[in-house]
Amino acid sequence: MIAFVRGRVVEIGLERVVLDVGGLGMQLTCPTGSLNHLRIDEIATVHTALVVREDSWTMYAFANAEQRGDFEILQTVSGVGPRLALAMIATLSPTDLRKAIDRSDLVTLTKVPGVGRKGAQRLVIELTGKLGAVAGDSGFVTQPTGWRDSVSAGLVSLGWSGREADAAVDAISEEATLMEANDSVDVSALLRLALRSLDRV
């Protein structure tokens, strides 16, 4: 993996930058406006991620390593590709993204072009605990203890009623018991199972 690229800035666009790297003009795709602080003819270092597809190799550039890390983690979510991941980074700061995921803030997540309510729910479910803590933020409410409380609170935060959440928790109790027996309780996995059980109701 190419972690960063350093070179003379030749061109700056809304969603791209071109660097002269040893006489080679390297075009890098970036989140909208994120590299506008660069200046033509200055030497710049950008953090990068290479995405290889059957028909293309695209190098993405970011202002810092945190943005690059978020870009890579976001693409682990089903239905999220490079373009949508870029849109999320361009719309939400790393802090705002972490707060939205940790607080199940669907309103903030749906501000991203291309993310609807179901997509926002999927982001919350699949990214909880993966992005890390919000730096310098001590105002979070402590997460409920025990898988039942955690799953129930997660369902309620996603818009289900308390009664529906309780029914879904009961529906997945067998799977949870197996996890407890193996000392490997995965709240995110249980939350996904609970949502599937609600879809069948």
Q: How many domains does the chain have?
A: 3
Q: Which domain holds residue 93?
A: 65-127
120 in a domain, yes or no?
yes
32 in a domain, yes or no?
yes
Residue 178 has pLDDT above 70, yes or no: yes
138 in a domain, yes or no?
no
Out of 21, 36, 62, pick the residue that ends a domain. Answer: 62
Out of 43, 62, 81, pick the residue that ends a domain. Answer: 62
Residues 85 and 116 in one domain: yes
Distance, CA of 54 to CA of 154 (rounded, Å): 38
51 in a domain, yes or no?
yes
Out of 62, 92, 110, pick the residue that ends a domain. Answer: 62
Note the pLDDT of residue 190.
82
Mean pLDDT computed over 180-191: 77
Residues 156 and 191 in one domain: yes
Note the pLDDT of residue 157.
65
Residue 97 has pLDDT above 80, yes or no: yes
- What would the pLDDT profile of 23-37 be if each residue is shown by its tens digit? 999 999 999 888 888
154 in a domain, yes or no?
yes
Asked whether 38 and 12 are in contact (CB, 8 A), the reply is yes
Instruction: Give the CATH number for residue 49.
Output: 2.40.50.140
Residue 143, SS3? coil
Distance, CA of 171 to CA of 187 (rounded, Å): 15
| Confidence band for 200, pLDDT divided at 50, 70 and 90 | low
Residues 36 and 76 in one domain: no
Which distant-in-sequence residues (6+ apart) come within 8 Å of 37 by Cβ? 63
Residues 193 and 163 in one domain: yes
142 in a domain, yes or no?
no
- What would the pLDDT profile of 116-175 be if each residue is shown by its tens digit? 999 999 999 899 888 876 555 444 333 444 677 777 777 776 777 778 888 888 888 888
Note the pLDDT of residue 135.
53
Contacts 24+ apart (CB under 8 A), 104-111: 104/154, 104/157, 104/158, 106/158, 106/159
36 in a domain, yes or no?
yes
Residues 154 and 166 in one domain: yes
Instruction: Give the CATH number for residue 84.
Output: 1.10.150.20
Q: Which amino acid is at 185?
A: V
Note the pLDDT of residue 138.
42
Residues 16 and 35 in one domain: yes
Mean pLDDT computed over 101-115: 91
- What would the pLDDT profile of 49-95 be if each residue is shown by its tens digit? 999 988 889 999 999 888 999 999 999 998 999 999 999 999 998 88
